[in-house]
Structure 1
Amino acid sequence: MFINSKISRIAKREFRRILERKTLYILIVVLPIFIYLLIGSIYKNEIMRELPMAVIDYDHSQLSRTAIQMFESSGSIAIKEYLVSPDEIKSEFRKGKIQGALVIPYNFEKDTKSGKQTSITVYKNSSNVIVGSLLLKEASTIIKTISVGVQLKKIQSSGKTREEAMNIIMPIKLDTHSLYNPNYSYINYFVPGLVTFILQMMIMIASVLIISSEFAHETFGEVIELSAGSEISILFGKAIPHILINSASAFLIVGIIFPLFGVIVNGSYFLILSLFILFIIVCVMFGVLISSLFKDQFMATEVAVFINTPGFIFSGFTFPLWGMPVIHNIFGNMMPYTHFLSAFIKLSQMDTGLFAVKYDLIILISFLIISIVVSLFMIRMRVRKYEN
């Protein structure tokens, strides 16, 4: 009861400090909501649509017009310009007016119907990997459809049925099953990762001020007096308000942001929220660890930013960890966010149970234990130094 009363006094004081300090209040409460809504609105269309594309049609035949119409009817492509030379294509790319271009050669229909091999040239802006990959995918699908259509007519003209003709053209069918994000939706891919990373960054930037700000404002003596010099009371009394406030962010993300923007959650909400709470506690305690190591709050903030900045890249979200060099893989696995994200994807998208994420949970709990132990040691050292 004695320890609990000391924790309670310090926690009440910390709540007041958060409310009184506008910068901290905005960082913890206001800014995350604004950023979550902003990120969700960016990807609300889910997939990239109507990429501007130019066309050069040297053939001007029925088949070339059909090919152009097929490209234009694709939801991902919008034909914006009709050009006459390849030099114009380069000029339009440089101006940023187009992201791709289609060039249909002379005698396209004639060569196709006579059985000669011909080609359609597609230029794509591969400086943007997403744009380049999407145009390649759409172009490959459309050109394959045109080729199959031409062959189908030829074979059917010899007396074969459509089914027989298709068996000759495509003796092997590709049967694909896209799991977990079948529509390749950016809202289901980017929003969960970006929102949770922002959550971590906001928590840690605020948490690194928990102890260091007391030295900056010369109020550490007040904390010692309220806690009677108990490092346990200081640590948990200062951390609990931040854990509670940021836990509300977890409910906001899962209960409002995800449904508002149509992010699909396949797994158990209870397990997902439990994972969020654990992750939030880890982030707060890791922030306190940094805060207890550096008395200068600006230095503590810089360390937090330095740790968090590459966190998203090394999490394996944009590029898989197994594809990185060994040293980068090791560094990525030393980040709490990497293991949270791995567990989050398994629970929310793959609908797995706790057994499937046990390794990630063990790592997160290990981060938590180390952070608490080192923080208690450092706070005890600070208290003794202050009292002496």
Structure 2
Amino acid sequence: MKSWWDIFKSELSLIFEDKSILLTCLVAPLLYAFFVGSIYSEKEVNEIPIAVVDYDHSSLSRKVASLINSTEKVKLKGHFSNLEDALFYFNNLEVQGIVVLPKGFQKKTMNLEGAKIDLILNNTKFLTSNEINKSVQKVVLMVSGGVRMRYFVSNKIPIDMAKEKAQPILPVIKSIYNATNNYGDYLLPILLILILQQTLIIAFGQSVVHEFQHGILKDLNGISFLEFTKILSAKSAYYLFLYSAYFFVFYKLIFPHYTLVFNGSIGFHLLLGFLFITVILLYTILVASYFRTAIGWTEIMAFSTYPLFLVSGYSWPVESMPELLQWVANILPSTPYFNVFNSLSVEKAHLPDITSGFIHLLILLVLAYVLLYLRFSLSKNLISKGQVS
């Protein structure tokens, strides 16, 4: 049996011989960090060009168009009488949205019958489409409230009471942990960590598959679990230290480059990152041991990024998911880590506030190790039965 150091050197040789592993673990993290980050480099969007199609040609429809144009985020670039002309600008990406005010808009609105307003959006950029949607809704709510108030006043209802009846519930939005109130500041930190997670899984998984198919672990006969652990620890040591270094570089250079909020002790963040990477490595060994080819592993894991993100509980709460997905979410290391990271870096949480997430990661570490032992024992039993037969 090779020594730990010999196995470590063999892993380095494999990395530099296999261009796929080399590119995935050394080039892809930084390349994707700047590529994905560039999408959100201008996290706040202003003066988004839109068009209005006015079929009503009334004073109210013109007022609505004027109010939409006066909002902070959008800018009216065209006022049209038919949809075909507006679609020409839309299809040429000169405007990012079209507001369609129907014929009879003023009459139906003033009679409190309700008028349907169509909104056509370019959803290839969800940041801009979301801002257009919010701006139009804000104006429509304001206009409808004004119309209702005018109606109540005309019916001899006092102004104060009319205001209350017209807008019984007034929304009050206070941004606590996202001062700019945009998706870029919210999503980008986790997307950067997700890049590290997925490149680690893909690169290390390719190495593990190679080891089970062509390396020392091709035949587990005569290998104890202690030796099995030694081999895997030697193979994973390079990735453990490399990705710990990536976490440090991301926290100290990439996050400031994109002016992302990052609070908390850098040392404690790195400790949590080290624990997170360790759990990821154990899970990768466990799952990769069932694959026959590195290509098959890469194909599956490349398409797992979005599902893993969605189930992690960052896009919506875990407790709001179906029960089965809640179980899946709670055995994924990204679920507690994303929560702890966000609490520390954005919400300025203290140690007692993230104890449950830290313990969750430790439990997953033990669980992964136990499952790995069971996987090893099962493989040994299958080999023994095959030899007996």
Q: CA deviation at 1:316?
A: 2.3
> Which residue of the partner structure matches residue 42 of structure 2?
45
Match of 2:199 among 202, 210, 214: 202
- The farther-off stretch of 81-90 and 354-363 is 81-90
Q: Tell me, in whole angstroms, the C-alpha distance in 2 between the residues paired with 1:144 and 1:371.
A: 52
Match of 2:118 among 118, 123, 127: 123
Q: Report if aligned partners of 1:224, 1:230 keep a CA contact under 8 Å in 2.
A: no
Q: Report if aligned partners of 2:278, 2:365 keep a CA contact under 8 Å in 1.
A: yes
Q: Report if aligned partners of 2:212, 2:289 keep a CA contact under 8 Å in 1.
A: no
- The farther-off stretch of 51-60 and 252-261 is 51-60
Q: Tell me, in whole angstroms, the C-alpha distance in 1 between the residues paired with 2:128 and 2:320.
A: 22
> Which residue of the partner structure matches residue 358 of structure 2?
361
Q: Report if aligned partners of 2:69, 2:75 keep a CA contact under 8 Å in 1.
A: yes
> Which residue of the partner structure matches residue 176 of structure 2?
179
Alignment of 1:342 with 2:319, yes or no, is no
- The farther-off stretch of 340-349 and 377-386 is 377-386
Task: Output the amino acid matched with 1:263.
Answer: L
Match of 2:98 among 93, 97, 100: 100
Q: Tell me, in whole angstroms, the C-alpha distance in 1 between the residues paired with 2:102 and 2:296.
A: 60
Q: Tell me, in whole angstroms, the C-alpha distance in 1 between the residues paired with 2:104 and 2:379.
A: 81
Task: Output the amino acid matched with 2:42.
Answer: N
> Which residue of the partner structure matches residue 188 of structure 1?
185
Q: Tell me, in whole angstroms, the C-alpha distance in 1 between the residues paired with 2:176 and 2:86.
A: 38
Relative contact order higher in (CA < 8 Å, ≥ 6 apart): 1
Q: CA deviation at 1:224?
A: 11
Deviations 1:62-115 (A, max 9, x none): x7655434322334223232221467667877787552315287795x999xx8
Match runs of 1:11-30 below 5 Å:
11-30=8-27
Alpha-carbon spacing, 1:6–1:355, altered in 2? closer, same or farther (3 Å): farther
Q: Tell me, in whole angstroms, the C-alpha distance in 2 between the residues paired with 1:208 and 1:378.
A: 16
Task: Output the amino acid matched with 1:100.
Answer: I
Alpha-carbon spacing, 1:166–1:199, altered in 2? closer, same or farther (3 Å): farther
Match runs of 1:140-159 below 5 Å:
140-143=137-140
Aligned partner of residue 264 in structure 2, secondary structure: coil
Alpha-carbon spacing, 1:16–1:107, altered in 2? closer, same or farther (3 Å): closer
Aligned partner of residue 177 in structure 2, secondary structure: coil
Alpha-carbon spacing, 1:107–1:354, altered in 2? closer, same or farther (3 Å): closer
- The farther-off stretch of 348-357 and 303-312 is 303-312
Match of 1:242 among 239, 243, 246: 239
Q: Report if aligned partners of 2:247, 2:273 keep a CA contact under 8 Å in 1.
A: yes
Alpha-carbon spacing, 1:122–1:44, altered in 2? closer, same or farther (3 Å): farther
Q: CA deviation at 1:53?
A: 2.4
- The farther-off stretch of 298-307 and 254-263 is 298-307
Q: CA deviation at 1:36?
A: 0.8
> Which residue of the partner structure matches residue 158 of structure 1?
none
Alpha-carbon spacing, 1:7–1:223, altered in 2? closer, same or farther (3 Å): farther
Relative to the length of structure 1, the TM-score reads 0.76
Q: Report if aligned partners of 2:149, 2:162 keep a CA contact under 8 Å in 1.
A: no
Deviations 1:220-248 (A, max 9, x none): 589999x9x82332121111111111112
Alignment of 1:324 with 2:321, yes or no, is yes
- The farther-off stretch of 172-181 and 242-251 is 172-181
Q: Tell me, in whole angstroms, the C-alpha distance in 2 between the residues paired with 1:221 and 1:137.
A: 58
Aligned partner of residue 262 in structure 1, secondary structure: coil
Q: CA deviation at 1:209?
A: 2.7
Task: Output the amino acid matched with 1:330.
Answer: W
Deviations 1:294-324 (A, max 9, x none): 4644455466457655211211233332332
> Which residue of the partner structure matches residue 271 of structure 1?
268
Q: Tell me, in whole angstroms, the C-alpha distance in 1 between the residues paired with 2:115 and 2:309.
A: 39
Aligned partner of residue 230 in structure 1, secondary structure: helix
Alignment of 1:311 with 2:270, yes or no, is no
Q: CA deviation at 1:131?
A: 6.1
Aligned partner of residue 310 in structure 1, secondary structure: helix
Relative to the length of structure 2, the TM-score reads 0.76
Deviations 1:333-357 (A, max 9, x none): 2222122212222222211123222
Task: Output the amino acid matched with 2:119.
Answer: K
Alpha-carbon spacing, 1:11–1:224, altered in 2? closer, same or farther (3 Å): farther
Structure 1: 5+ residue runs without aligned partners? 154-163
Q: Report if aligned partners of 1:59, 1:107 keep a CA contact under 8 Å in 2.
A: no
Q: Report if aligned partners of 1:93, 1:99 keep a CA contact under 8 Å in 2.
A: yes
Alignment of 1:333 with 2:334, yes or no, is no
Q: Tell me, in whole angstroms, the C-alpha distance in 2 between the residues paired with 1:378 and 1:151.
A: 68
Match runs of 1:289-308 below 5 Å:
289-294=286-291, 296-301=293-298, 304=301, 308=305
Aligned partner of residue 203 in structure 2, secondary structure: helix
Match runs of 1:363-378 below 5 Å:
363-375=360-372
- The farther-off stretch of 271-280 and 255-264 is 271-280
**What is the aligned length?**
370
Task: Output the amino acid matched with 1:123.
Answer: D
Q: Report if aligned partners of 2:46, 2:74 keep a CA contact under 8 Å in 1.
A: yes
> Which residue of the partner structure matches residue 281 of structure 1?
278
Q: Tell me, in whole angstroms, the C-alpha distance in 2 between the residues paired with 1:337 and 1:194.
A: 12
